[in-house]
Chain A
Amino acid sequence: MKYIFKRLGFYLIAFVAAVTINFFIPRLMPGDPVQMYMAKLYQTSGKIDAETIAAVEKLFGFNRDQPLIQSYIEYVGNIFSGNWGISFSQFPLTVTEALSRGLNWTMFLMGTSLIISFIINNLLGILAAWKRGSRLDSVLTVGGQLMSNIPAVVLALLVSYTFARSEIFGIFPSGYAVTPLFRPANVMQYIGDVAYHAFLPVSCIVMLQLGGIMGMRANMINQLGEDYIAMGRAKGVPERKLMFSYGARNALLPVVTTFAMQVGFMLGGSLIIEVVFNYPGLGKVMLGALNSRDYPLMQGILLMSTILMLSANFLADMMLLILDPRLRKQGR
């Protein structure tokens, strides 16, 4: 329990740190976001009164009559009560509403890719460790590492050109999460359509994660040198069981701890991949926000992706609790 509380405390600190960065970034930058916002608002609505100015300043936490610290506290309060401001590129919508539209699709993409790449990376990592030194091992580790160091933009552009646009292999859609104006006759048809659209983006994310093979392989090799493996072998435990129930279970622990880092890279990559594939996730929302200089929405995206990261961390902590009994005994 103590372990969980400690982690939750850290998440709170990390989130407040993200909010603080969000609060100070506009203040450190050249140019006045309130002025820019006002200009934008003037373009869309055509009139601005004193009341609007006050509202906008409050929104950004800019208030010239009160000390900085008070504005900061108000800003943090607003964020925690779910008042993230109003998007001006999608005007009547609040930031949270604009985000929630993309969030579902991004979580769908990332969740699917996480599960697939977790299975692929770990199985291939175990295989590479099993056959270490063989040609298969070199191909898997070097190949995986090379794949994961291709920039996400480049991979997505190449895949999108080859499999969505070129005349020979272009069998996949080049945009959207479901066919526009598509009326599915039943649930199965809808799922099929979603999977058809998600196939290329998910494949790209999974390919970019293949570097994980090397991590699992290294952990596995470390485990295979341990005494309990030798003991198991001496007892006559079959090789397959030795690999999966003895070695792999312990080799998974460090993999789960680097999970958070992986999710960070994956998030960055997934946002760009969504842009390339015109997929209606957070990445698409982000591009819209950037192009229309929609600062509240941009800040919202930073906060939302921090929350995604923290949730992934929490998930990893929970998995560690299940995998590692030592953690559960702590603080009892």
Chain B
Amino acid sequence: MANIIEISHLTKSFGGAAVVNDVSLAVREGEFVTLLGPSGCGKTTTLRLIAGFEYPDVGTVLVGGEDVTDLPPYRRPVNTVFQDYALFPHMTVAQNVGYGLRIAGVARVDIARRVGEALRMVDLLDKIQAMPAELSGGQRQRVALARAIIRQPKVLLLDEPLSALDVKLREAMQVELKHLHNRLGITFLLVTHDQKEALVMSDRVLVMDAGRIVQAGRPADLYDRPASPYVADFLGSSNLLEATVAAIESDRIVAAARSARIAALSNGVRFQLGERVLVAVRPEKALLVALEADLPGHFNRLEGTVIENLFHGHTLRTGVDIGLAAPFVVDSQLQQALSQTQAPAPGIRVAVGIDPANVTLFPGERGR
């Protein structure tokens, strides 16, 4: 499939600080791509550079093979769903959705038909004559979506479209957006700081940090094989332990953090003996067992004291003091009610088991 968006060496500075720093990316036709990162990482500015609300200092933006770098927003074949929806308050829902077509001089009957289609697509046909102020947040969101898809853009840009909705509605809209993407076949480029949203919806995620793309890949790849401690911690959460390489075996590397020794599969990555490393272990990939219980032989075994239990509904997060600066966090799936579960009380000595395949080593002293 052809690339619908191609960005090369895009740089944009505000007041001398590079907000977007030499970003290059390509989006294939029909793909659902997410730019993920904390606020201030440059993801929204990247989106605005594609939409045409900002012009880059350096670099080019190609949409559908056409160089649109210097085109104003109204000449670009993309449409945006804004974070605050940006519905025109002095127009009805129908006028909002049909606005672009009306100004473009499309015939009245065609506008009415296409507005109807777009609103049916977002299931809001009954509010066609309402004013934006009369709608709920979720409904405004749908109007904004209908307005953005009615011109059949080559790319739909979504700037944190769900951040203003409450959790339940947000999760429902995530699924709905994904379905809409499948039905329309339009390329979606989403900007979000919500890692869950990115993992649920996207075909591909680009993680940004300080104006650069630090890793790109399918959600599962990013989650399971983060390229840096930053990604490991931003997507999901990770126990990050500072350690030194204590032993290098045929297929395993053993890192030591004080008294704790943790083995990882080497996976072809080369480390020197004595090198400083960062050990990353996801909380749900560690196993909490009683001190006397047996673990599979190849498992790492760390012993410590339970500090606290945090009830997350479907999981129980246990902090274990293993003699390091930060407690080691283990998530246990709750298959029964919490009252039926034998959760180790604070103060109890326990063991933590970790499969070496689930341990990731990063070179130490590199930016987190």
**Are A and B bound to each other?**
no
- A residues contacting B by CB (< 8 A) are none
Query: Which residues of B are interface residues toward A (Cβ below 8 A)?
Result: none
